Structure 1
Amino acid sequence: MTERRLRVGDDEVVLSSRDAPKGGGQAAVYPLDDNPGTVVKLYREPQGPDQERRVERMLNLTPLGGRPTNTSQPPELAWPTAVVRGVDGEFLGYAMRRFGEPEHVPLIGLFTRAQRLRCFPPQTDWRFLLGVCWNLAFMTARMHHEGLVIGDFSSNNIVVDGNGFVTLLDCDSIAFTDPASGEHFPALMQTADYSAPERQAGGPASPHTDNFALAVLIYQLLTVGNHPFGGVPHGSSSDSTIKDNIAASCSYVVHPEAVTTPRNMVEPTVLPPSLLALARQAFGPGVHRPESRPSAEDWLRALDRERSRVETCGERPRHTYGFHLTTCPWCARAAVTGQDAFNMPPPRPMPPPVPVGTPDVPEEAPVSRTLVLVLIALIAVIAVVVAIAASA
Structure 2
Amino acid sequence: MVLNLLSADGRRWGLAEQVGQGGEGVVFAVADRPGLVAKLVPNPADPAGHRERIERLVRRRREPRTARLLSGGPGTLAWPLLGVRTVRGEGHGYLMADLRPHHQPLDRLFHAADRERYLPGADWATALRAVAALAALVAAVHAEGYLVGDLKPGNVWVDGRGAVALSDVDSWQFTDRGVLFESRPRTPGYTAPERVADPSAAPTRSADDFVLAVLVHQVLMVGLHPFLGLPTDGSPYLSLDDNLRHGRCRLTDRRSVRLPEPLPPADLLPSAVRALLRAAFGEAGRGSPTGPPTAAEWSRVLGAELGPGRLRRCPTEPRHVHTVERSWCPWCDLAGRGHHEYPAGAVGPAPAPTIRADGPARPSHDRGRNR
Same fold, TM exceeding 0.5?
yes
Q: For the Cα contact (< 8 Å) 1:208–1:290, is it kept in 2?
A: no
List aligned pairs for 1:268-347, cutoff 5 A.
Answer: 268-284=266-282, 285-308=284-307, 309-336=310-337, 338-344=338-344
User: How many residues in Structure 1 have an aligned counterpart in Structure 2?
Assistant: 336
The Cα shift of 1:263 comes to: 1.4
1:244 is matched with which residue? 242
Residues 88-123 of structure 1 show CA distances to partners (whole Å, capped at 9, x for unaligned) of 5666211111112x521100110011001111131x
SS at match of 1:114: helix
Given candidates 7, 24, 27, the residue that maps to 2:22 is 24
Q: 1:8 to 1:68 in 2, by over 3 A?
A: closer
Residues 122-160 of structure 1 show CA distances to partners (whole Å, capped at 9, x for unaligned) of 1x1111111001100000100111111001001111111
Matched, 1:82 2:82: yes
Q: 1:223 to 1:292 in 2, by over 3 A?
A: same
Q: TM-score, normalised by structure 1?
A: 0.81
CA distance in 2, matches of 1:7, 1:302: 46
Letter in 2 for 1:333: L
CA distance in 1, matches of 2:253, 2:126: 29
SS at match of 1:191: coil
Larger relative contact order (Cα-Cα within 8 Å, sequence gap ≥ 6): 2
Given candidates 196, 207, 215, the residue that maps to 2:192 is 196
CA distance in 1, matches of 2:59, 2:239: 41
The Cα shift of 1:205 comes to: 0.4
Q: For the Cα contact (< 8 Å) 2:85–2:93, is it kept in 1?
A: yes
List aligned pairs for 1:126-141, cutoff 5 A.
Answer: 126-141=124-139
Q: For the Cα contact (< 8 Å) 2:264–2:330, is it kept in 1?
A: no
2:67 is matched with which residue? 65
Matched, 1:186 2:182: yes
Residues 16-36 of structure 1 show CA distances to partners (whole Å, capped at 9, x for unaligned) of 5xx234212311101012101
Q: TM-score, normalised by structure 2?
A: 0.85
SS at match of 1:22: strand
Q: For the Cα contact (< 8 Å) 1:134–1:304, is it kept in 2?
A: yes
Amino-acid identity (%): 35
CA distance in 2, matches of 1:152, 1:139: 15
The Cα shift of 1:54 comes to: 0.7
CA distance in 1, matches of 2:254, 2:19: 43
Letter in 2 for 1:65: A
Q: For the Cα contact (< 8 Å) 1:31–1:39, is it kept in 2?
A: yes
SS at match of 1:41: strand
Q: 1:133 to 1:3 in 2, by over 3 A?
A: closer
CA distance in 2, matches of 1:21, 1:305: 37
Q: What residue ranges of structure 1 are gaps of 5+ in the alignment? A: 347-392
Q: For the Cα contact (< 8 Å) 1:219–1:228, is it kept in 2?
A: yes
Matched, 1:229 2:236: no
SS at match of 2:60: coil
SS at match of 2:26: strand
1:177 is matched with which residue? 175
CA distance in 1, matches of 2:66, 2:188: 27
The structure that has the greater radius of gyration is 1
1:378 is matched with which residue? none
Q: For the Cα contact (< 8 Å) 1:80–1:95, is it kept in 2?
A: yes
Letter in 1 for 2:55: E
The Cα shift of 1:259 comes to: 1.4
Q: For the Cα contact (< 8 Å) 1:149–1:174, is it kept in 2?
A: yes
SS at match of 1:153: coil
CA distance in 1, matches of 2:289, 2:260: 29
CA distance in 1, matches of 2:8, 2:333: 56
CA distance in 2, matches of 1:30, 1:344: 37
Residues 54-110 of structure 1 show CA distances to partners (whole Å, capped at 9, x for unaligned) of 11100111355326966xx9952111000112335666211111112x521100110
Matched, 1:166 2:201: no
Residues 329-384 of structure 1 show CA distances to partners (whole Å, capped at 9, x for unaligned) of 11111101x232112589xxxxxxxxxxxxxxxxxxxxxxxxxxxxxxxxxxxxxx
SS at match of 2:39: strand
SS at match of 2:161: coil
Q: For the Cα contact (< 8 Å) 1:47–1:91, is it kept in 2?
A: no
Q: For the Cα contact (< 8 Å) 2:42–2:91, is it kept in 1?
A: no
1:362 is matched with which residue? none
Q: 1:292 to 1:118 in 2, by over 3 A?
A: same
CA distance in 2, matches of 1:211, 1:26: 23
The Cα shift of 1:296 comes to: 0.8
Q: 1:266 to 1:258 in 2, by over 3 A?
A: same
Q: 1:155 to 1:263 in 2, by over 3 A?
A: same
Q: For the Cα contact (< 8 Å) 2:40–2:91, is it kept in 1?
A: no
CA distance in 1, matches of 2:59, 2:18: 30
Matched, 1:212 2:210: yes
